[in-house]
Amino acid sequence: MPGFELFSDAERNEVNDVLDNGVLMRYGFDGMRKGHWKAKELESELCTAFKTNHVQLVSSGTAAVSVALASAGVGAGDEVIMPSFTFVASFEAIMMLGAIPVLVDIDDTLCLDSKAVERAITEKTKAVMVVQMCGSMGDMDAIQAVCNKHNLLLIEDACQAIGGTYKNKPLGSIGDLGCFSFDFVKTITCGEGGAVITNNEQYYINADHYSDHGHDHIGSDRGAETHPFLGYNFRISELHAAVGLAQVRRLPEFLDIQKKHFEILRQELSKISEMEFRSVPEGGVESCAFLNFFLPDTETALKVSKAFGENGIDACWNYYNNNWHYIRKWHHLKDAKSLYPLSYEIKAALEKLKTQDFSQSDHYIGRNISCLIKLSWTEAEVKERAEKMKSIIETVI
């Protein structure tokens, strides 16, 4: 998956262009930069790639989620429904705004279960955040229908699913706002970076201002800009944007490689009758950044995961005991271990997580194996890997 596997002269040339020009900040210094605007160029390229009207680059995927929520008016006391399987950044970004993360079960898509979402809605619910985990998507029609029924914002975190589509729409472009990460291990990387995308002009204006201390970005004199509202610093640098600019132009290349490797692995593993692949909603096309499958039970999945590691099969995980991505081991969240005081509402919500039933999520995560698809493999290496994985699984089963 990671674009860093295939760095080329394209990335080097864009970075050197910034260094030769000497302006590393994305705003201001108009005279010095001589018309070079890497962040603006990258935003334009991303508008095309993601088929969206507006893109605001920010400093990370985590920042993208916070900026997206804030831009749509989500804040203190508002509840945001999110999945039990995601990255810790999801609840961090929500809580940073004083909003309340409400965790609910996933289904066999490994994403939000629309029925669980509907059961969790209260008078405080403001938004639903679907996280398109491991290169694929939730049942977007069902989730959107719930949001429409209850007049809720749909925030789409597509950080792990760059290049995936649902009914010919790029993942990230379906909700009211979409969020992307371009960190070091994403399909396209800036080193560090992220983006908020939307077709809502007011949300875009809010994101533009909020991510840069509230600057209105009117005129060419940064010192004369006004501040219509409070903001924070979530800016991306020109150096990071330069890397991303080269990478996004290579996205079709990366996706083709991912798909080829994905299909080789899937075809070989599909010969195992005791195994099933994750569910992909009708009309959905995975990004092929990960191959996900279910084994008969948690014990078998844990044994297979261990056997993979012992036999040199890297980048394949079972998330059941993972403390980055799954609720079971998020003790710092459930115990509200914060450096600063949390609101009563947030602490009360986190206390409930200690006894909340996530058995449905356990049923899927416990049996799941998630395999990263690397761009740097040769076709021969992928075929050898596929045969080895199949043999190990059959031996354990």
Catalytic residues: 186
Angle separating helix axes 251-269 and 379-396, nearest 10 degrees: 40
Contact 103, 83 (CB under 8 A): yes
Token pair in block for residue 249:
């132009």
- The distance in angstroms from the start CA to the end CA of the chain is 28
3-state helix, strand, coil in the chain (%, to 5): 45, 15, 40
The CA-based dihedral angle spanning residues 11, 14, 20, 21, taken in that order and rounded to the nearest 10 degrees: -150
**Cα–Cα dist 286/161, whole Å:** 8
CB atoms within 10 A of CB 80: 26
**Cα–Cα dist 313/336, whole Å:** 36
Nearest to 133 by CA among 198, 87, 78: 87
Q: Where are the beta strands (DSSP E) in the chain?
A: 54-58, 79-83, 100-104, 125-131, 153-157, 165-166, 169-170, 177-181, 194-198, 276-277, 284-285, 290-294, 316-317, 368-372
CB atoms within 10 A of CB 142: 16
**Cα 316 to the center of its chain, rounded Å:** 18
What burial class does residue 99 get, using C-beta atoms within 10 Å of its C-beta: 0-12 exposed, 13-18 middle, 19+ buried? buried
